[in-house]
Amino acid sequence: MTIKQISVYIENRKGRLAEATRYIADHQINLKALSIADSQDFGILRLICENPQETNEILREGGYLTRLNNVLAVSIADKPGTLAGILDVLAAAEVDVEYTYAFLSSKGGAYMIFRVTDNAAAQAALDASGIHTASQEDIF
């Protein structure tokens, strides 16, 4: 199963990230996880939050360029080799990982977010290996 991630495109200039996060805070949006990647001209702020559809609309109303993506959230154990095992399963299924990042849940436990080239193939491979993927409800 997949969860929704919001990608927010922001200019790569001083204060712009602060403005975006202030806008999010002013609208009482609680972020569960975030990741930021940048290039010379812009950054991509990736967000996991409780109400992604509503949050996406709020951001668009604020003038932000956004995109909703389906990503996989995989529950991970806090022990050496857990990530390597997940990546081995995905590689064996010939699923490319575009990016990944991690966060801790307030419900307890840790999760890795995976953006992959084929969610269905990744899900099938993970299921067959007994690796749990989380729903939006599991996380929140």
For residues 46-51, average pLDDT: 94
Q: How far, in Å, CA of 139 to CA of 51, rounded?
A: 12
Residue 120's pLDDT band (cuts 50, 70, 90): very high
Max Cα distance, the chain (Å): 46
Coil vs helix vs strand at 76: strand
Domains of the chain: 3-68 (3.30.2130.10), 70-139 (3.30.70.260)
- Phi and psi torsions of 134, nearest 5°: -100, 150
Per-residue confidence (pLDDT) for residue 106, from 0 to 100 = 75
Give per-residue burial for 22-41: e unless 16+ CB within 10 Å, then b. Answer: ebbeeeebebbbbbeeeeee
Residues 64-86: tens digit of each pLDDT? 999 999 999 999 988 899 999 99
Contact of 86 with 126, CB cutoff 8 Å = yes
